[in-house]
């Protein structure tokens, strides 16, 4: 057990460490609240953080942000997978935010029925969560040590955030993601934000077009996996994304892509568990190790 504030308060190798509670390596830290620092923003978002068994307060650890599916919670990765065992093996801090009922839209419209919060989720991740981790635990300050992943709509969120803040992340992973909303125009999660496709075709094409946005992700590591029996997010979503990254790379090797199709897997946490070993191996190889 580490009383973090007593061991290290102030700076860790030039990095800020201000957490005053107790960190138990090999355990989750529950229900931390991240306040919004933006003027006029009252939003507070809960997160859970897992510190690997060999963690020491102030370590400049590798960090993986793990986002849940649309109707999920911050507990999903903890409850439904063995992500902690990989965090212990590879010395990674896992951060799971409570982002629910969110398509990672960057703006809302008069027709929007479901709003995630005062600011967009990608903006919150890049401009609120990462600075919070930096000043609270002295982590997530180095691009080379920071990755983001997600399942389903969370996979969309991972790539949206990485595309908007490529200076903050070096690696991104998506499991059964929703990447091209124009090919799922009857998806109620999207229509609840963007309105009906037939009424707002230009909006659906131009706003939050992830296929276009990922052009910012050069010098990047990408992991994409999908089950070939997925009836919620069609496997064509991931195939299109993989093709897009290959087009961006043009054989130069700047975008390192690992693409996996899982036979007979559907859109559930069993699929995620079956993909976790490959995804975590990917992050181990692509995130800079502690020296």
Question: CA torsion, points 137, 138, 139, 141, in degrees to nearest 10?
Answer: 140
For the stretch 195-234, pLDDT in tens is 999 999 999 999 999 999 999 998 999 999 999 999 999 9
The residue written with tokens 């649309």 in the block is 70
Query: Is the pLDDT score of 7 beyond 50?
Result: no
- For 8, 148, 234, 260, the CA distances from 226, given in Å and listed in that order, are 42, 17, 9, 7
pLDDT of amino acid 4: 44
Burial of 279 (0-12, 13-18, 19+ CB in 10 A): buried
For the stretch 248-290, pLDDT in tens is 998 888 999 999 999 999 999 999 999 999 999 999 999 998 7
For the stretch 167-197, pLDDT in tens is 999 999 999 999 999 999 999 999 999 999 9
pLDDT of amino acid 17: 86
Domain residues for 61? 2-286
**Phi, psi (rounded to 5 degrees) for 153:** -65, -25
For the stretch 102-116, pLDDT in tens is 999 999 999 999 999
**Phi, psi (rounded to 5 degrees) for 158:** -60, -45
Q: What is the mean pLDDT of residues 124-146?
A: 96
- For 35, 66, 111, 214, the CA distances from 159, given in Å and listed in that order, are 23, 12, 25, 7
pLDDT of amino acid 186: 94
Mean pLDDT over the full length of the chain: 93
CATH of the domain at 268: 3.40.50.1820
Could you tell me the pLDDT band of residue 57, with boundaries at 50, 70 and 90? confident
Q: What is the mean pLDDT of residues 54-61?
A: 91
Highest mean pLDDT among 33-47, 81-95, 246-260: 81-95
Does residue 248 belong to any structural domain of this protein?
yes
Query: Is the pLDDT score of 8 beyond 70?
Result: no
Query: Is the pLDDT score of 134 beyond 70?
Result: yes
Could you tell me the pLDDT band of residue 1, with boundaries at 50, 70 and 90? low
The residue written with tokens 């990922």 in the block is 214
Number of domains in the chain: 1
Does residue 109 belong to any structural domain of this protein?
yes
Q: pTM for the full model?
A: 0.94
Q: Identify the CA nearest to 108 among candidates 203, 209, 205, 210.
A: 203
Does residue 291 belong to any structural domain of this protein?
no
């Amino acid at each position: 057990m580490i009383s973090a504030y007593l061991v290290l308060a102030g700076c860790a190798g030039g990095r800020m460490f201000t957490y005053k509670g107790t960190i138990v390596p090999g355990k989750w830290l529950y229900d931390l609240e991240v306040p919004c620092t933006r003027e006029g923003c009252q939003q507070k978002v809960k997160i859970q953080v897992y510190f690997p068994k060999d963690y020491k307060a102030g370590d400049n650890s590798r960090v993986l942000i793990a986002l849940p599916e649309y109707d999920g919670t911050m507990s999903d990765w903890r409850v439904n997978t063995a992500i902690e065992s990989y965090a212990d093996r590879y010395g990674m801090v896992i951060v799971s935010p409570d982002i629910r009922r969110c398509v990672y839209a960057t703006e809302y419209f008069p027709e929007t029925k479901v709003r995630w919060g005062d600011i967009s989720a990608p903006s919150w991740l890049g401009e609120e969560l990462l600075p919070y981790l930096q000043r609270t635990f002295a982590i997530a300050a180095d691009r080379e040590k920071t990755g983001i992943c997600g399942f389903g709509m969370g996979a969309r969120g991972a790539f949206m955030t990485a595309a908007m803040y490529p200076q903050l992340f070096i690696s991104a992973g998506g499991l059964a993601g929703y990447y091209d909303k124009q090919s799922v125009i009857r998806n109620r999660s999207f229509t609840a934000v963007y309105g009906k496709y037939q009424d707002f075709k230009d909006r659906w094409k131009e706003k939050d077009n992830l296929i276009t946005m990922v052009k910012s992700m050069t010098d990047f590591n990408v992991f994409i996996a999908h089950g070939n029996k997925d009836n919620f997010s069609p496997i064509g979503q991931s195939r299109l994304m993989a093709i897009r990254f290959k087009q961006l790379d043009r054989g130069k090797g700047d975008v390192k892509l690992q693409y996996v199709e899982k036979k007979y897997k559907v859109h559930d946490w069993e699929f995620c568990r079956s993909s976790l070993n490959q995804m975590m191996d990917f992050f181990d190889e692509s995130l800079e190790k502690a020296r």
